[in-house]
Amino acid sequence: MNLGAVIGLILGLGILGGAAAIGSANTGGMSSLWDGISLAIVVGGAIAATCIAYPLEDVISAFAGFPKVFGTQGFTLKDVVQDYVGLAELARKGELAKALDEKPDHMPFRLGGIKDTCRMISDGMSKDDIRTIKENMEQYRALREIKAANAIAKLGEYAPSFGMIGTLFGLIFMLAGMAMPPAPGVDPTAALISNMAIALITTLYGALFAFFFFLPFSEHLKYINEDKKVESALHLEGAMLLYDKVHPIMVQERLNAFLARKDRFVDDA
Amino acid sequence: MNLGAVIGLILGLGILGGAAAIGSANTGGMSSLWDGISLAIVVGGAIAATCIAYPLEDVISAFAGFPKVFGTQGFTLKDVVQDYVGLAELARKGELAKALDEKPDHMPFRLGGIKDTCRMISDGMSKDDIRTIKENMEQYRALREIKAANAIAKLGEYAPSFGMIGTLFGLIFMLAGMAMPPAPGVDPTAALISNMAIALITTLYGALFAFFFFLPFSEHLKYINEDKKVESALHLEGAMLLYDKVHPIMVQERLNAFLARKDRFVDDA
Amino acid sequence: MNLGAVIGLILGLGILGGAAAIGSANTGGMSSLWDGISLAIVVGGAIAATCIAYPLEDVISAFAGFPKVFGTQGFTLKDVVQDYVGLAELARKGELAKALDEKPDHMPFRLGGIKDTCRMISDGMSKDDIRTIKENMEQYRALREIKAANAIAKLGEYAPSFGMIGTLFGLIFMLAGMAMPPAPGVDPTAALISNMAIALITTLYGALFAFFFFLPFSEHLKYINEDKKVESALHLEGAMLLYDKVHPIMVQERLNAFLARKDRFVDDA
Amino acid sequence: MNLGAVIGLILGLGILGGAAAIGSANTGGMSSLWDGISLAIVVGGAIAATCIAYPLEDVISAFAGFPKVFGTQGFTLKDVVQDYVGLAELARKGELAKALDEKPDHMPFRLGGIKDTCRMISDGMSKDDIRTIKENMEQYRALREIKAANAIAKLGEYAPSFGMIGTLFGLIFMLAGMAMPPAPGVDPTAALISNMAIALITTLYGALFAFFFFLPFSEHLKYINEDKKVESALHLEGAMLLYDKVHPIMVQERLNAFLARKDRFVDDA
Amino acid sequence: MNLGAVIGLILGLGILGGAAAIGSANTGGMSSLWDGISLAIVVGGAIAATCIAYPLEDVISAFAGFPKVFGTQGFTLKDVVQDYVGLAELARKGELAKALDEKPDHMPFRLGGIKDTCRMISDGMSKDDIRTIKENMEQYRALREIKAANAIAKLGEYAPSFGMIGTLFGLIFMLAGMAMPPAPGVDPTAALISNMAIALITTLYGALFAFFFFLPFSEHLKYINEDKKVESALHLEGAMLLYDKVHPIMVQERLNAFLARKDRFVDDA
């Protein structure tokens, strides 16, 4: 579980909720923060505009991507290096095909990228074909997977815009109403002020959804995509080294270069 | 039909229309949202500035491009891969010329990019010539087709600016008028407030046209352009593989690398 | 003549002028939109800041570049392709020197870029020299010619900033004046409101000059610069093909790859 | 110690503190600048959103990175050049292994990057392996170390946003409260004005934390990262030169090219 | 002397000073534009934040760079081409060493970049070494010299931010003071208005320093840096041509490709 996202969500909701509770104590309670029409304008408007900008399947996969922020991938880059080092001996004997049915000792499963490497080498593909296939797979994977993050970022860009549109709606109706003679028994100033509060709520919703929800979630998905690029670079380098039947010690040296010193795999055996 | 754009447009119009109807119920109705001069300033001004920034034919093709957002291209990248795999056998026999008159079994038509490939190989062009021609076609196609999207984006950039210009017009006239002695029997405060509402309408129109119309449509056209780059990369790779008379199984493997695992073409035969 | 820029300018001036005339009808006329000091602050300030940011000759060539927006270059990329195809036969005979004194049948003049090509090949320069010279000419031409567009863009960036500075000037003087006891017989509220209108005029001028004038003109010059890059790519490709004495049919095929299908040159002969 | 950061911090705090002390002298003192809830919204909200956007370990290493701004690395690029020049003689004799246990005369320690170079050459690695390892180490080091700077930049981006959210909270509650009948004996205008001040404090905190704290610190870490790229380029060039047993005079010439003329190493010996 | 910067500075100061003099004529004079604390917040705050973001030596060299904007470099690119063409004959005779002690006929001095070229060729360095050294010198020179421009740009980015911070200070103190009972004999409205003017001055200073001073100066230094890249490209190309003992006519042709047609060197001899 991605502890950071959970902490961030709880911390943020706690602070904002607490501040709202304290701030609204003398002014009729937190109900003054709730306005259904404002919510519809901000969230509905942002989704509508994003549906025009992106294909429906991207918008759906964007919403499907929200829970991903709370998960982790369950392995480290060090595990990837360790598996390639372990396979280097097998590669030198020309027995990489075995690796397709086994799993490494230090991981509960073998990564798809490593299995692909083993299969392509066992199948006798040329080094250039393997390199081209791996490079194309990564390039177009990155392009595809960034789309969901982009759609969420677009939601975060449109939310404050529709917040502003809703506020303008509110202000125009308020001012138009004030030009009419006030109903008897109604204090026009109080009505104006109360309507102002409602108009500002739409701006508030736009900012909250953008800065506390859509934009950080989008950032996180982009971050994951960047991290996968490092993993893919490891797979490409690993595949080339296994193909060349390079000695495990050199495989370890070459792949460790991708990692921070403290995260490197050191073979104690 | 691009369902997303239709849903987005209906959803957005529904929410904004509903919010306007509810919000204006007590203030003289939705007519307070309509102002013809504001519309002329925002839309006319944005079009005028865009006509200066871009050649007329680009502005026209920008408007011609709006309906494109609601269409789909009628084939998937998987179809392209399948066709190239099917042609690989023909290419090995040196009979690609046949493909020019046939259409593939799984598609109602053969794509222009694939026909170009077959024709160039049958005509005996060199591999380098084919690569150069395909690369240049794609590079300059992308440059040309992004122009309409850019012109629409420019409309979306200028619309809020002219919205602000219109609001400044309104504010200046309003203030200038207030410095004059009020006409007898007119409540100056009511006039001020009513004029403020009209001034804000231009800002509202600028935001609505930009964030609900011009910018999402422009984004969509840019998205389509990016997608065509993937298709073109498939055509280039496919052409090189057909030229080299590569075995269909390898053609399938090489071209599937461009697709997500779930979208890959698997030859069941 | 570039019809788009003319239409844009007239359309924009018409709409803004009409809106101003209608809007100011009840408030003392359009004279409330005129303020000479505001104009000096916005335009003079923007020019002053741009003179610091860019060398004087760039600022001058920026202003000299305004009329360019209304002109057209008088030939299409298709004409360029047609001329290279026509010269291909001459190139095969080694008689490109002739082309220096002739002009093509379909154009009133031969482009400088094509003449350069012919001269360099006739002079016996090596292919690498020609490629390097053409590439350097284009790279540094693009860098030089973008400077005027950049200087105008800078004017468009500084204009609203000086609009804001002028408005702050106005507000500060207005508020400072209001702290003083009002002159007898002057309604202080009317003075405040009238001064507010004047303060806003500077913001209006800043927005008008930026969004209706400087920025669209700068965009247009950048657009022309991009278009010249396509023309230069044609000249480079054409020069290499003529140097290699490639057959006219292949020259046509290779150069048409740069154009949209509907704009391609088809030799009917 | 990084004198600039210390001066900047003291200078900034002094000016802001002095201005606050003078400005608040007649208005009840600087306590009007303190509001705990505002601080919680701005700092807590920015941290919460950043925890969602970035993994927890990046946020922690971001905070761990703040003190780094006050430190210096304790050596110059000239020292690096001098060490490589000194090692060139050793490299020509094939005795680079000695350098692993020694330290250079002009520095209290030998840099890890130089030791790596010596070890890899002594171990008999190929030139291509050394180049690939060094390039990968640098590329992925830069990607990793920029993450902390990016997380701080994100704090600086979210701080003003949560400042705005807090201000909207304050305004909405204030307006909602004003629509209620005032409590007896309370001057409603005074309450409004006092609440406005509190609402603005959150905006102030957002701006202060962003522009005086988060953003400059993030800039500094990015600056250090860029500087390390120059150092890494020196290590790569130095390693290639030592591998090729190049003469010390040429090593000095080649490595000095990376430095400003006044910072170059000149061997007086 | 860079006439443009002088004109810009005088023009800008004249317009702003004149507008201030006219505008303040009826409101107690221009003294209402002066506020020492505002100046300290804007300029001091911007310098403080920049000292944190950049090393002290960069901030100092940024201020040392201001006078540079008023200078010119005293030679044109045409002079550089002319010198290389003149040296081409010497290079063919293998007597480039002579050029180290001479100066060209058309210039009062020989540029350091040309001297470096001559020395490296005379010293018998290989072509690859010369290319690598020249490329590295330029790449790291550009990186170093852009730092001062970046530090000034940062000042221009922080100045309006601290302007806003100062305005918020002013507003908060003003509102806090208004919640207190007014001192006897003081008109609270006049105090409010006068304080508003002071609060706005900080915003004005921030905008003035940014848009009229820091940002244009930074732009100019960036412009100079770009221009030096063209000069360096000439030096690299010239060095390669001299090394290859290319004929002066071809040297002229190759180097003129970097210049606009009207600036090219034509040897009349």
Of E53, E168, E174, the CB nearest to D207: E168
Q: How much is the average pLDDT of D117-142?
A: 95
Q: What's the confidence (pLDDT) of residue E176?
A: 77
Q: Does B26 touch chain A (CB under 8 A)?
A: yes
Task: Report residues of chain B scoring pLDDT below 70.
Answer: 28, 179-188, 190-191, 268-269
Q: Do A173 and B69 lie within an 8 Å CB cutoff?
A: no
Residue with tokens 């859509």: A214
Over residues A144-202, the pLDDT tens digits come to: 999 999 999 999 999 999 999 999 999 988 887 776 666 666 666 766 777 788 889 99
**HEC secondary structure over chain E:** CCHHHHHHHHHHHHHHHHHHHHHCCCCCCHHHHCCHHHHHHHHHHHHHHHHHHCCHHHHHHHHHHHHHHHCCCCCCHHHHHHHHHHHHHHHHCCCHHHHHCCCCCCCCCCCHHHHHHHHHHHCCCCHHHHHHHHHHHHHHHHHHHHHHHHHHHHHHHHHHHHHHHHHHHHHHHHHHHHHCCCCCCCCHHHHHHHHHHHHHHHHHHHHHHHHHHHHHHHHHHHHHHHHHHHHHHHHHHHHHHHHCCCCHHHHHHHHHCCCCHHHCCCCCC
For chain E, the average pLDDT equals 90
Alpha-carbon distance of D24 to E263, in angstroms, equals 62
The count of CB pairs under 8 A between chains A and D is 156
pLDDT at D102 (0 to 100): 86
CA C260/CA C77 separation, integer angstroms? 10
A 48-77 near B (Cβ less than 8 A): 48-57, 59
Do the Cβ atoms of B49 and C8 come within 8 Å?
Answer: yes
**What values do phi and psi take at C102, rounded to 5?**
-95, 170
Give the pLDDT confidence score for residue B54 in this predicted structure: 94
Instruction: Return left, alpha or beta for D62; rule: phi > 0 is left, psi -120 to 50 is alpha, else beta.
Output: alpha
Distance of CA E42 to the CA centre of its chain: 21
| Cβ-Cβ contacts under 8 Å for A84 (sequence gap 6 or more) | A114, A234, A238, A241, A242, A251, A255
- Partners of C32 on chain B (C-beta within 8 Å) are 172-173, 176
Q: Report residue E268's pLDDT band, with 50, 70 and 90 as the boundaries.
A: low
Contact B222, A55 (CB under 8 A): no
**Tokens 């305005």, residue located:** E167
The predicted pLDDT at position A269 comes to 56
Q: Cβ of A2 under 8 Å from any chain B Cβ? A: no
- Residue A268 confidence (pLDDT): 65
- Residue/partner pairs of E119-128 with CB below 8 Å, 24 or more apart: E120/E239, E121/E91, E121/E96, E121/E239, E121/E242, E121/E243, E122/E96, E122/E97, E125/D250, E125/D253, E127/E240, E127/E243, E127/E244
Partners of residue D45 in chain A, C-beta under 8 Å: 12, 15-16, 212
What is the C-alpha radius of gyration for chain D, rounded to an integer number of angstroms? 27
Q: Give the ipTM.
A: 0.91
Q: What is the mean pLDDT of chain D?
A: 90
Position C129, amino acid: D
Report the gap between the CA of E262 and the closest CA in chain D (Å). Answer: 34
Contact exists between B and E (3 or more beta carbon pairs < 8 Å) = no
Distance from the A45 Cα atom to the nearest Cα atom in chain B, whole angstroms: 5
Alpha-carbon gap: E206 to the closest alpha carbon of chain C (Å): 10
Contact C193 B179 (CB under 8 A): yes
Contact D230 E52 (CB under 8 A): no
Chain D residue with the nearest C-alpha to that of E139: D258
The predicted pLDDT at position C80 comes to 95
- Res B268: pLDDT: 65
**How far apart (Å, rounded) are the C-alpha atoms in residues E117 and D120?**
34
Inter-chain touch A190–D179, beta carbons under 8 Å: yes
Chains C and D touch (3+ CB pairs under 8 A): no
Q: What is the mean pLDDT of residues A49-68?
A: 91
Q: Chains E vs A: touching, with 3+ CB pairs under 8 Å?
A: no
Q: Which residue of B has its CA nearest to C246?
A: B129
Q: Is D196 within 8 Å of chain E by CB?
A: yes
The pLDDT of D226-234, averaged and rounded, is: 95
E-contacting chains (≥3 CB pairs under 8 Å): C, D
Option in D56, D133, D164 nearest A254 (CB): D133
Residue D62 has pLDDT above 70, yes or no: yes
Nearest neighbour of A168 by CB, restricted to B8, B9, B200: B200
pLDDT recorded at residue D173:
85
Whether residues E173 and D24 touch (CB distance < 8 A) is answered with yes
Closest CB to A175 among B18, B194, B254:
B194
C-beta of residue D267 within 8 angstroms of C-beta of residue D114:
no
pLDDT at E24: 80
Is the pLDDT assigned to residue D66 strictly greater than 90?
Answer: no
* The pLDDT of residue D264: 94
Tell me, yes or no, if E174 comes closer than 8 A to chain C by beta carbon: no
Of B23, B190, B211, the CB nearest to A170: B23
The span from the CA of A125 to the CA of A236, in Å, is 14
Q: Which own/partner contact pairs does B21-29 have at CB distance under 8 Å and 24+ positions apart?
A: B22/A37, B23/A37, B23/A169, B23/A170, B23/A173, B24/A173, B24/A176, B26/A177, B27/A173, B27/A174, B27/A176, B27/A177, B27/A180, B28/A176, B28/A177, B28/A180
Q: Which residues of B touch C7 (CB under 8 A)?
A: 48, 51, 56
DSSP state letter for C105:
T
Separation in Å, CA C213 to CA A202, C8, C206, C217, D4:
34, 11, 10, 6, 43
Mark the ranges of chain C whose per-residue pLDDT is less than 50.
Answer: none
Residues of A with CB below 8 A from D176's CB?
Answer: 24, 27-28, 32, 194, 197
Dihedral angle over CA of E92, E98, E99, E100, nearest 10: 140
Amino acid D206: pLDDT: 97
Q: Give the residue carrying structure tokens 């004030």.
A: A178
Q: Tell me if D260 and E51 make a contact (CB, 8 A cut-off).
A: no
Residue A115 φ then ψ, to 5°: -60, -45
Of D33, D204, D254, the CB nearest to E129: D254
Q: CA torsion angle for D133, D134, D137, D138 (degrees, to 10)?
A: -150
pLDDT of residue D196: 82
Q: Is E219 close to C54, i.e. CB distance below 8 A?
A: yes
| CB-closest option in E193, E233, E257 to C178 | E193
Who contacts D19 (Cβ-Cβ below 8 Å, separation ≥6)? Answer: E37, E40, E41, E166, E169
Distance (Å, whole) CA D77 – CA D49: 39
Q: In whole numbers, what is the pLDDT of chain A averaged over residues?
A: 90
Q: Using the predicted structure, report yes or no on whether residue A53 has a pLDDT greater than 60.
A: yes
User: Between chains, do E53 and D216 touch, taking CB under 8 Å as contact?
Assistant: yes
The pLDDT of E89-105, averaged and rounded, is 89
> Do chain C and chain B touch with ≥3 beta carbon pairs under 8 Å?
yes
Q: What is the pLDDT of residue B114?
A: 94
b/e per residue A6-31 (b: at least 16 CB within 10 A): ebbbebbeebbeebbeebbeebeeee
- Flag whether residue B129 sits within 8 Å of chain C, measured between CB atoms: yes
pLDDT of residue E185 exceeding 80: no
d(CA B176, CA C23): 11
In angstroms, rounded to a whole number, what is the distance separating the alpha carbons of residues E245 and E96? 11
B and D touching (3 or more beta-carbon pairs closer than 8 Å): no
Cα-to-chain-centroid distance, residue E163: 23
> DSSP letters along chain B, please?
--HHHHHHHHHHHHHHHHHHHHHTTTTT-GGGG--HHHHIIIIIHHHHHHHHHS-HHHHHHHHHHTGGGG---S--HHHHHHHHHHHHHHHHTT-GGGGGT---TTSSS--HHHHHHHHHHHTT--HHHHHHHHHHHHHHHHHHHHHHHHHHHHHHHHHHHHHHHHHHHHHHHHHHHHTSPPPTT--HHHHHHHHHHHHHHHHHHHHHIIIIIIHHHHHHHHHHHHHHHHHHHHHHHHHHHHHTT--HHHHHHHHHTTS-GGG------
Interface test with A, best of D37, D50, D51, D63 (most A CBs within 10 A): D51
CB proximity D40 to A under 8 Å: yes
User: Among all residues of chain D, which has the CA nearest to that of A4?
Assistant: D56
Distances in Å between the alpha carbon of B154 and those of B40, B89, B157, D54, D177?
17, 48, 5, 33, 43
Lowest-confidence range among A225-239, D61-75, E145-159, E200-214? D61-75
Q: What is the DSSP string of chain D?
A: --HHHHHHHHHHHHHHHHHHHHHTTTTT-GGGG--HHHHIIIIIHHHHHHHHHS-HHHHHHHHHHTGGGG---S--HHHHHHHHHHHHHHHHTT-GGGGGT---TTSSS--HHHHHHHHHHHTT--HHHHHHHHHHHHHHHHHHHHHHHHHHHHHHHHHHHHHHHHHHHHHHHHHHHHTSPPPTT--HHHHHHHHHHHHHHHHHHHHHIIIIIIHHHHHHHHHHHHHHHHHHHHHHHHHHHHHTT--HHHHHHHHHTTS-GGG------
Contacts E41 to D, Cβ<8 Å: 15-16, 19
